[in-house]
Amino acid sequence: MKKKYSVLVPLLCLFTVKAAYCQQSPVTNVGTVTAVKIDQQKVTIKTTNAFAEVDVYTPSVIRVRIDKQPLKADFSYAVVGQPLSPKVQINETDDEVDIVTDSLKAIIHKKPFAVVFYTTDGKLINEDEQGLTTTWVEQAVTTYKKMQDDEHFIGLGEKTGNLDRKGNGYTNWNSDVYGYSISQDPLYSTIPFYIGIHHQLNYGIFLDNTYQSDFNFGASNNRFSSFGARGGEMNYYFIYHKKVADIIASYTWLTGRMPMPPIWALGYQQNRYSYYPADEVMRIAHTLREKRIPADGITLDIHYMDKYQLFTWNKGRFPDPAGMNAELNKLGFKTTVIVDPGIKVEKGAAAYESGLKDDVYIKYPDGQYYTGQVWPGWCNFTDFTNPKGREWWRKQVKFFAESGVSGIWNDMNEFSTWGQKAPDNVLFNYDGHLTSMLQAHNVYGLQMARSSYEGAVEHFKERPFVLSRSGYAGLQRYSALWTGDNRAEDDHMLQGVRLLNSLGVSGVAFTGMDIGGFTGNPTTNLYIRWMELGAFIPYYRNHTALNSKAAEPWTFGEDALDIVRNYISLRYQMLPYIYSTFYNATQNGMPVMRSLAIDYTFDPKVMDVAYQNQFEFGDAFMIAPFESTKDYGKVYFPKGTWYELYTGAKEEGGTAKTIDLNINKLPVYVKGGSIIPMQSLIQSTAEQPTDTLTVHIYNGDTANSLVYYEDDGKSFNYQKGDFYKRTISLNPQNNSITFNAAEGSYKSHFRFIKVMLHGFDQTAAVKLNGSPLKLEQSSFSFLGAAANTDPQGSAYQAESNPVKCITITNDQGKIQLNY
């Protein structure tokens, strides 16, 4: 008896301690399902510790909401897509609830609550990690997903590091990070959306929660990937499609797509911190024209303001801003000005007093306005989450319209203050859902960009250009985004490529970085390489800081100028292709600058760090950027046929090749089957090209098409059908090229189409709508236009690419070519 008793006591103690430990655990699990309600396409659930909803939005999009408290009324700054009415079957058993659509199947396990997603034929796409599922640690909520074998992750917006996020963790808290390192996290914006890839499957997850959020893709563990937030509910959208492009389309259906930009914003933009006074601005403009450097925009940084006060001009430096902008317009330039959110506390100042009168500034809980120090000194900050704050800002934008400004550049809108420690207890209206800095911080930049865009639409009367440094998911509806204060270093140039590719995967099609680097001074070769690369970046802006050397194209010598001018000129020749690619982004969310992982998702080479900087520019081009110091580089060619841009030399897909690197020439290749509309060289988009549209068509093994798009490039009339759109198709199976009948009421500028046939070496004859057509030989140089118009000649002898061609009239009806 003594022996049994001595064993029993420790066991009782062990059970008692274990029970006490469980009761005192700081981690709360979601628990088991205790009640289920099925209502058409939504399942409402109560568990032992939480409340949940699983809602089918489309056959491919399912939303999951979980909270420890009863779920509140729905509200989102990001999501604009509303649930459709798809065909859904929902069945409940003792152990699970099954949700089946035409595209996927979701199983909700009851013991404990966990969600698993399958294809309709039973392949596992994604599942909650057993034993962890969704949990809370105090107010922070996290959902844990089982990491599948060989799973890879892309996206998450503006994040440094490799294309493949596997093995890393990230935090979303919009931050001002001047001269950031290439591994720094977080940066300026928050887009909590990523795509998982494994076993020939891919899916997307969008966590719509504006608190600080954290993502873990196997960092410091080999068990799970996870996503969560420091407050609020677990609220995520699961997206499944067979193709990454379709996942992006569904994500941008949820969060919105960009409107058509003004065409001038797609041209070259010259910027510096700062151009002043007005005479210096005009000198820059005239020099660009005199040196035949095509350009459309000049950007003014904070020194245009009177003592950095918003909605003012420094009258000493800019005595007649409207007159200056009118003169710039005559030269074919549009002006973009910087705006910061801080309104200087200055009695008698018009903007400050107006904000006080309308009570639009954010406050402490005791009702006193929050004051933070920025460029003007101590400032109050507009509450852009308050409808009346946004209305007030929209009214202020009229100031810029009256000055002849065409673009608004939103800066410091993380928001940033000296010290970078805005207090947590500052209150925001949050559209009637009063909240603190903890929830409002990450959407502040988005709402500022929204206010600037809506004000510009109201007062500019034409399509505005809006640029932002900070933002949240959905920012593409209002603004382009650039990657902030980078550095003039090779690794920053390449990191910038990955940042823009990641933003593209994450729904933001209009993106850019400071070409040449913001801080520091690039070498001549780095500047040249970066400017070459800029021709294939959506937002092409050269920008440098106050304490650095001048970085206009002519400041690095005549040889550098010739090379840079060639690539800026190529950009302007490509504008019909670029504009059509932007139109595509407005329709399906596809980025202009694309990671190879979009089109070649399951090719392991595209995730290889050796090739991760390669990207596509629209459907046609593949660019292979390298450090400016390298003499050789290795390029990977995905499946298909590829053509070297300058010579037309063929490369077979599925191979890698070491190439010589020449600072005169950026490695650019064209995908077989591509269709590239181009125009004659112009010096700005205010100038009309010739009346012949040149369409380059590259022979390939598979059918392909391009939606060619035109409108007036400046008004909103395209929304009323005033556009010109036609599909151009290549079908190698029946040896045909088809120009479909045009749609829309807009009349194309081009009267003729010159079709350039690349790789059609065996083609001896062409028929137009069944009638024989003369096939001619033509020689075309992609880098020759600038040299041909430059009276001083060119330091670079452009390579000629002889091809067969035909010229036809641009009839409105269908055009059929057979070769």
- For residue 562, indicate whether it is catalytic: no
By CB atoms closer than 10 A (0-12, 13-18, 19+), residue 289 is: middle
Q: Report d(CA 227, CA 211) in Å as an integer.
A: 12
Q: Report d(CA 498, CA 533) in Å as an integer.
A: 13
Q: Report d(CA 172, CA 163) in Å as an integer.
A: 18
Contact 618, 577 (CB under 8 A): yes
SS3 letters across 95-142: CEEEEECCCEEEEEEECCEEEEEEECCCCEEEEECCCCCEEEECCEEE
Amino acid identity at 428: F
Query: 10 Å Cβ neighbour count for 421?
Result: 8
Read off the DSSP letter of residue 720. G
List the one residue out of 330, 325, 323, 319 whose CA is nearest residue 277: 319
Which of the following is catalytic: 411, 454, 562, 616?
A: 411
- For residue 485, indicate whether it is catalytic: yes
Give the CA angle between residues 379, 381, 386 to the nearest 5°.
165
Q: Report d(CA 769, CA 644) in Å as an integer.
A: 31
- For residue 414, indicate whether it is catalytic: yes
Collapsed DSSP state (helix, strand, coil) of residue 581: helix
* φ/ψ of residue 653, rounded to 5: -70, 160
Which of the following is catalytic: 128, 208, 301, 414?
A: 414
Task: Give the pair of three-digit tokens for residue 686.
Answer: 């205010």
Instruction: Spell 130-165 as b/e; 16+ CB within 10 A means b.
Output: eebbbbbeeebbbbbbbbbeebbbbbbbbbbbebbb
Q: Quick check: bond before 321 cis, omega within 30?
A: no
Q: Report d(CA 78, CA 353) in Å as an integer.
A: 32
Which of the following is catalytic: 55, 340, 383, 485?
A: 485
Where helices occur in 152-263 by DSSP H, the ranges are 244-255
DSSP helix, strand, coil percent of the chain (3-state; round to 5): 25, 30, 45
Contact 112, 31 (CB under 8 A): yes
Which residues have a catalytic role annotated? Answer: 411, 414, 485
